[in-house]
């Protein structure tokens, strides 16, 4: 569980390094938005919200989203560093 939160923090710090400003509020809105979307989807499909399953699904989606973001940002950072030398 803690490994997934490291992706969120690493995406934040890579964005700070690349762009020079914090986008933590955008990251938090994405996490809350994913949780809200998973809650609505679960409610529409099951007519009952099982909070454990919603949190589990949203957390897995965030892991997928932020691990992909991490890889993309690392590659952008590498290209940027190579071209700036």
CA 39/CA 52 separation, integer angstroms: 11
pTM value is: 0.83
Confidence of residue 4 (pLDDT cuts 50, 70, 90): low
For residues 35-64, average pLDDT? 88
Residue (of 42, 16, 38, 18) closest to 27 by Cα position: 16
Confidence of residue 79 (pLDDT cuts 50, 70, 90): very high
**Are 8 and 73 within 8 A, CB to CB?**
no
pLDDT tens per residue across span 53-62: 888 888 889 9
């Amino acid at each position: 569980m803690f490994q997934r939160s490291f992706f969120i923090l690493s995406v934040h710090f890579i964005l700070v390094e690349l762009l020079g400003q914090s986008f933590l509020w955008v990251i938090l809105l994405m996490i809350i938005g994913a949780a809200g979307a998973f809650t609505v989807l679960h409610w529409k499909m099951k007519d009952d919200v099982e909070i454990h399953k919603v949190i589990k699904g949203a957390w897995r989606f965030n892991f997928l989203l932020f691990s992909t973001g991490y890889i993309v940002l690392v590659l952008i950072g590498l290209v940027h560093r190579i071209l700036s030398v």
